[in-house]
Amino acid sequence: MAKKSALGRGLSSILADIDKVYEKELGSSENRIEEIDIELISPNPYQPRKNFDKQALEELAGSIKEYGLIQPIVVLKKDEFSYILIAGERRFRACKFLKKDQIKAIVLNVDDKKLRELALIENIQRENLNPIELAHSYKELLEIHNITQEKLADLIHKSRSQIANTLRLLNLNEQTQNFIIEGKISQGHAKVLVGLEKENEKMIVDTIIGQKLNVRDTEKLIKNFKNKKIEKNSGRKYQSMIKLEEKLNTLEFKTQVKNLKLTIDFMNEDEVAKFIKILD
């Protein structure tokens, strides 16, 4: 119990670092702002964002070209000639797009675990991750700190239901997840797909894309699909009940089947004893 509390405090501390990193680090004697050769900086291996909008990066590059890099990136210094990017990958990519030789950066000294946490939190708090990237970020934070969804919700100021619903997207098959990343289906579509059998999920997804269904139409489609499946299964069960009725009738028991209800009328105790013997 004490271990989880300590981990929780650590995550709270990281959140505070991200929210106030620039003012905190500006006055730090250990961590300082430097002009660093871009070629010496490697991307953060724990960066959850995999897709960057090209147009948005070009617009950011145009802003940096006109006004300069107002907010420095944050890097981890590995050695004299090597740094790892912690926060500000869009700014970093935009400067590379401009073919800049150097970039303004706050230099930190943190261990690998905190590096991973900083990347995840920085993206959750500051970037518009797609739903799948966000789900992976939530999952990693839960695993790193071994905490509940409720605790994570408190720490990152999101509702527990929002976290739970986002995490459920990871239960969708890989192709569906890719469609979400590519924007071919929305998170609203994805939420109603969770829980379907994989084969049915693919069929519904193909229908969404092929017929350009909105979320409401998709909900209706899935509802109708589930109702038909229930009717089909009920039909199978009903036939089974009919066969049972026929079998009992051959044994001279008076039976009646109505929907999924089987009624046996015993004429006397001997019939009850006979029925019990059959069950044995």
Collapsed DSSP state (helix, strand, coil) of residue 207: helix
pLDDT tens, 208-251? Answer: 988 888 988 888 888 877 776 655 555 555 666 667 767 776 66
Residue 136 to residues 14, 133, 181, 234, 266: CA-CA distances in angstroms? 18, 5, 12, 39, 61
Question: What average pLDDT does the segment 187-202 reach?
Answer: 86
pLDDT score at 128 = 66
Kindly report the number of other CB atoms within 10 A of residue 91's CB atom. 24
* DSSP three-state, residue 44: coil
Report pLDDT for 253: 72
* Whole-Å CA distances, 106 to 22, 84, 91, 119, 167: 8, 11, 13, 14, 33
Q: Is 59 a catalytic residue?
A: no
CA dihedral 214, 220, 221, 225 (to 10 degrees): 160
3-state secondary structure of 71: coil
Distance between CA atoms of residues 23 and 19, nearest Å: 9
How far out from the chain centre does Cα 93 lie?
Answer: 25
Tens of pLDDT along 111-132? 656 666 666 666 666 556 788 8
Question: Which residue shows structure tokens 């010496």?
Answer: 40
Q: How far apart are CA 123 and CA 114, in angstroms?
A: 14
CB 120 within 8 A of CB 141: yes
Query: Residue 119: which of 94, 87, 143 has the closest Cα?
Result: 87
Quick count: other Cβ atoms within 10 Å of Cβ 49?
19
Structure tokens at 204: 């519904």
Which amino acid is it at 129? Answer: L
First to last CA, the chain: 52
pLDDT tens-digit profile of 141-194?
888 778 888 888 887 778 888 889 899 999 999 999 999 988 889 888 988 898
Give me the catalytic one of 35, 39, 59, 89: 89
Q: Is 263 helix (H, G, I), strand (E, B) or coil?
A: strand
pLDDT exceeds 60 at position 69: yes
What sign has the CA pseudo-torsion 144, 147, 148, 154? negative
* Phi, psi (degrees; rounded to nearest 5) at 80: -60, -30
**pTM given for the model:** 0.49
Report the residue count for the chain.
280
Q: How far apart are CA 192 and CA 177, in angstroms?
A: 13
More confident residue, 138 or 4: 138
- Measured in degrees and rounded to the nearest 5, phi and psi for residue 53 equal -65, 120
The per-residue pLDDT for 2 is 39
Sorted by where each starts, the structural domains of the chain and their CATH numbers stand as 2-127 (3.90.1530.10), 172-213 (no CATH), 227-279 (no CATH)
The proportion of the chain whose per-residue pLDDT surpasses 90, expressed as a percent, equals 4
pLDDT of residue 89: 83
